[in-house]
Structure 1
């Protein structure tokens, strides 16, 4: 292995585990950190409240007692459709991040397929970032923007996110999520390592799917049949100087139901580690 990969886990990897069990899993796998999610119940992947109903500070302390960073909290979905309800959602996520000691929050663009002129779409994005920026400054926090490569997404490409961040003067408080799945779907070729706050990794292996047909439910652990070119993307990011975490985020039901997810993750990590 020519480069050490700093692996992490997004709770989407093992939503059947409660948060402490999930942290313990990441510890056993030698991860550098974890990402926790507020939408597992909404996605009907769990019946538990965010932080399992515990005090966020206690969960953050537990992660750090295991030598893990609490890399981020997800998510504020549809943040670029800014209104009073979204402001309250972002404010709550920031409050929870501060209480738990999380390093970032995640901002996810609307994926509703709405057809709108680029001028309006990008203006809405800038307006949302301009509204969120003072909230981040007050909290001394980073927000991670994750472009979604779906054709139905209101923000597909990282370049547009970077341009919007610069337009509102948010260089110190916004970063990108480089998601290998969405990078592939958007047919992106440019990397933004200096803007990247975290990398999400997952694989798609079904040979019958076109890129346009790929959905979250197809995302499994990265293996040797991966079609998303995870190894190529990881090697490129490392070569360009990215030193952050590579966090597993598979959405497939088969992964969530895996009774031996730890073994599957070890196998995938070994494959990526030997190839990078």
Structure 2
């Protein structure tokens, strides 16, 4: 029997309070969750303490796999260092196991050496912070052509240059992997997989944005089943975390049913690929 380790990112149902979101994950038998620091009116932005987040997670019998995210991680500065310290402390106090590190998508065109150098400088600063708080940093490249760290190959080079394999892993995002057109996967370094789909047949790949990202289903253009099969076949056994962003998800009457339907589609699709 095929067993998949599904997890839920709060962006799947951002209209829910943290307590209701945790209850949703528990009801879906997907008891690993990602919380965010960019949902207005919700934890962490509303001032909910790390201790309260930990209590809510315990009450709902869920574990927090990550806080999403330290943005622009690859542009290191005094302010970025302080932000990293604050988020790492929040991770540790709330029971979160990792902090997602998202590359800047500011649009400045940089050559590969500069992209690796900037990421390395930042990771050199981040590694001791992560070690001190006992958490993992999940490096996430963005597949957009304007991203300052688009390639996981470059991210791996930076991780190694920073001597950070003990506390650094990659986030494999199926949306961004598809957009980047990068053939290589790094299952041994992958700590988290974000899954979402794009159904709209009219939008070209270069114009795909977060607003197009929905739950994975039969019309998916991102080849989620193929990507997940490749990662699992190469040894990845970690969580597959739903992270869609489309506005329509905020208005679902029954988010549990929608997520459950996507879970079934992915599970059945992988079974069919294995047959």
TM-score by length of 1: 0.94
Aligned counterpart, 2:261 = 267
Distance 2:59 2:267 in 1: 26
After superposition, give the CA deviation of every residue in 1:145-170 in whole Å (9 maximum; x if it has no partner).
Answer: 00100001001111111111111110
Give the count of matched residue pairs: 270
Give runs of aligned pairs for residues 104-183 of structure 1, distance below 5 A: 104-183=98-177
C-alpha contact 1:51 1:59 (8 A) present in aligned 2: no
Q: What secondary structure is seen at the aligned counterpart in 2 of 1:114?
A: coil
Q: Post-superposition shift, 1:6?
A: 0.6
Distance 1:40 1:65 in 2: 22
Aligned counterpart, 2:191 = 197
Q: What secondary structure is seen at the aligned counterpart in 2 of 1:227?
A: coil
Moved more, 147-156 or 232-241: 232-241
Distance 1:86 1:6 in 2: 32
RMSD between superposed Cα atoms in Å: 1.3
What 5-or-longer segments of structure 1 have no aligned partner?
42-46
Distance 2:48 2:104 in 1: 29
| 1:38 and 2:29 aligned | no
Aligned counterpart, 2:19 = 20
Distance 2:221 2:112 in 1: 30
Deviating runs (4+, > 6 A) in structure 1?
none
Aligned counterpart, 2:273 = none
C-alpha contact 2:13 2:255 (8 A) present in aligned 1: yes
| 1:83 and 2:77 aligned | yes
Aligned counterpart, 1:62 = 56
Distance 2:259 2:176 in 1: 21
Q: What secondary structure is seen at the aligned counterpart in 1 of 2:16?
A: coil
